[in-house]
Amino acid sequence: DIDHLNLRVQKELVEWLNWLKADIGFDGWRFDFAKGYSADVAKIYIDRSEPSFAVAEIWTSLAYGGDGKPNLNQDQHRQELVNWVDKVGGKGPATTFDFTTKGILNVAVEGELWRLRGTDGKAPGMIGWWPAKAVTFVDNHDTGSTQHMWPFPSDRVMQGYAYILTHPGTPCIFYDHLFDWGLKEEIDRLVSVRTRHGIHSESKLQIIEADADLYLAEIDGKVIVKLGPRYDVGNLIPGGFKVAAHGNDYAVW
């Protein structure tokens, strides 16, 4: 175990980080198992190495009901993510992986898309509260891949990407999905929509509909995304929008 409270440990780790930055060319850090040490310690490493980007893995369990499914209200879960960023320094480069959004999306795409509108009418994950500091993802090396600890429904992965690549937050793409699953072309199309229309971490999200079989949202007045099997949504799409990407149970205008 590393004693992060030991001043010598802190000094040597900071020197190592600065070497990685200056000599090797890294410009961002991922804090693995960040709940294993205090945010105060992470703040020391970030402040003294000044990365352009830093993201923490704070993976805690969602609140579940008696049916084994996540409760609609996950405020306590996302509050923990927000608290970490607050303590490390909200004006700096610190962000956290949006595990709240990941957990809700896992279940929502299985016919419960109403979960994607929180009680306040906003996105139910961290992106609904502090999108600039939320790094969204569908799966990573822990949840998917060989470890398979909390995997996204494999036949609905592209619905997950249609959500995170059109929504606020900073989306990241899983290597396996891009290169091993044969999804590169579909994912690239969504990335190009995001880039072309300037969708960014603090883009404005307006949720139009969130029912069991349909989630429809508009982002920055430029992009509309639909998840779910409901086909006839023409009456909900404003004039002037054209389909830019589509696949199994998702479409983007």
Is 110 a catalytic site residue? no
CB atoms within 10 A of CB 187: 21
Q: Which of 3, 15, 47, 57 is catalytic?
A: 57
Q: Identify the bridge partners of residue 28 per DSSP, sorted by sequence position.
A: 53
CA angle 157/139/159 to nearest 5° reads: 20
Strands lying side by side in the sheet with 53-56:
28-31, 53-56, 94-97, 134-136, 170-171
Calpha distance 55→49 (Å, rounded): 14
| DSSP symbol at 36 | G
Name the nearest CA neighbour of 102 among 138, 135, 78.
Answer: 138
Question: Are residues 205 and 168 in contact, defined by beta-carbon separation less than 8 angstroms?
Answer: yes
| Residue 183: both structure tokens together | 């999804």
> What does the alpha-carbon distance between residue 213 and residue 233 come to, in Å, rounded to a whole number?
11
Cβ 132 vs Cβ 124: under 8 Å = no
- Any bridge partners for residue 218, and if so which? 206, 224
Helix (H, G, I), strand (E, B) or coil at 84: helix
Apex 23 CA angle, 22 and 28, nearest 5: 55
Q: Is 209 a catalytic residue?
A: no
Q: What angle do CA 33, 127, 125 make, to 5 degrees?
A: 70
Catalytic residue, from 1, 32, 67, 232: name it.
32
Residues taking part in catalysis: 32, 57
